């Protein structure tokens, strides 16, 4: 994945586009979902659909702030791909009888707040911050959760859908990590300080208040799905492994901060972190829905119709 050529990557992305219509949604296999699995899987899929939207919104902001045209185009494609993932997952939910016609699953409060935060602030965030946070979220959530699902579900249509989604994800990660390395390249200490300074403001603090509980919440959800949390932690470790494989990557201050944080997330013995953050998860869960702001209008682009 190291030092990929972004122009070639753009060509690859263009030629790898797929449609929901490419999938035979009525093929046999839907009956392989057991009644026992159904409630857990419904919750897991609902979260997954919304995580895709977190990714989509993040890429929209990246496209807006991209430093050159190739990256702008890549992020624009990735934005559309994340929306396609959400739509494909909705179509799977409908196939499995988890959604009525026209229904949209409800996001958990943590995801809901993350979307709200992204919607308000992501466009104004320094590109460097997004450039490191997005690969972290992609590795830990977007990419990882999809893979877990395949261990639990045998429906061949699900495997067909996720083969395509995972292919897209590997390109998102390839670009994400390359950009992170580019941002650590040839930087003097002064440059690094300049990268960090605009990141320190209230929006970012608010972002942490949303981001920390989101990770713990998703960990709890993975456990609720009957999966060992080590699986999620295994995915998180990839962030450090891939992001830190070159000196330039390791020099990126955001990479360092995020991987140090990931280590804390993975270590339940770090009570100074987990006690307050788990409390934040419980408080977030308790926020009554009426107190949460309305879902942003772009969410209406959610559809399980196979033309998307």
The site for Fe ion (CB under 5 A) is made up of 52, 55, 82, 85, 138, 142, 169, 172
Residues in the chain: 308
3-class SS of residue 230: helix
- The rounded distance, in Å, linking the Cα atoms of 143 and 121 is 24
- The rounded distance, in Å, linking the Cα atoms of 30 and 188 is 56
List the structure tokens of 169. Answer: 């994800």
List the structure tokens of 74. Answer: 């890549």
H or E element in which residue 155 lies: none
Nearest to 109 by CA among 227, 213, 220: 213
- The rounded distance, in Å, linking the Cα atoms of 40 and 162 is 19
- The rounded distance, in Å, linking the Cα atoms of 27 and 208 is 43
CA angle 43, 49, 50 (to 5 degrees): 95
Report DSSP letters for 19-33, one per residue: -GGGS-TTSTTGGGS
Nearest to 62 by CA among 163, 191, 183, 234: 183
- The rounded distance, in Å, linking the Cα atoms of 48 and 96 is 15
């Amino acid at each position: 994945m190291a030092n990929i050529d972004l122009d070639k990557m753009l060509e690859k992305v263009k030629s790898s586009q797929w449609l929901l219509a490419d999938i035979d949604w009525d093929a046999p296999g839907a009956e392989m979902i057991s009644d026992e699995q159904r409630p857990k899987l419904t919750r897991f899929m609902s979260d997954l659909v919304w995580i895709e939207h977190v990714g989509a919104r993040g890429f929209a902001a990246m496209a807006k702030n991209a430093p050159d045209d190739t990256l702008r185009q890549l992020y624009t494609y990735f934005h559309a791909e994340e929306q396609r993932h959400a739509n494909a997952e909705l179509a799977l939910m409908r196939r499995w009888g988890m959604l009525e016609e026209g229904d949209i699953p409800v996001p958990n409060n943590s995801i809901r707040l993350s979307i709200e935060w992204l919607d308000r602030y992501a466009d104004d965030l320094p590109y460097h911050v997004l450039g490191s946070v997005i690969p972290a979220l992609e590795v830990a959530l977007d990419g990882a959760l999809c893979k877990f699902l395949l261990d639990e579900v045998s429906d061949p249509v699900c495997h067909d859908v996720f083969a395509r989604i995972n292919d897209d994800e590997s390109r998102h990660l390839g670009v994400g990590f390359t950009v992170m390395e580019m941002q650590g390249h040839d930087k003097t200490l002064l440059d690094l300080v300049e990268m960090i300074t605009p990141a320190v403001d209230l929006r970012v603090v608010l972002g942490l208040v949303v981001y920390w509980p989101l990770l713990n919440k998703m960990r709890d959800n993975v456990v609720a799905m009957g999966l060992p949390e080590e699986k999620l932690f295994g995915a998180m470790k990839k962030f450090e492994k891939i992001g830190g494989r070159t000196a330039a990557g390791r020099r990126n201050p955001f990479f360092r901060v995020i991987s140090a944080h990931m280590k804390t997330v993975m270590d339940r013995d770090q009570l100074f972190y987990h006690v307050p953050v788990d409390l934040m998860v419980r408080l977030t869960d308790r926020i009554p829905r009426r107190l949460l702001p309305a879902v942003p209008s772009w969410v209406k682009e959610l559809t399980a119709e196979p033309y998307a």
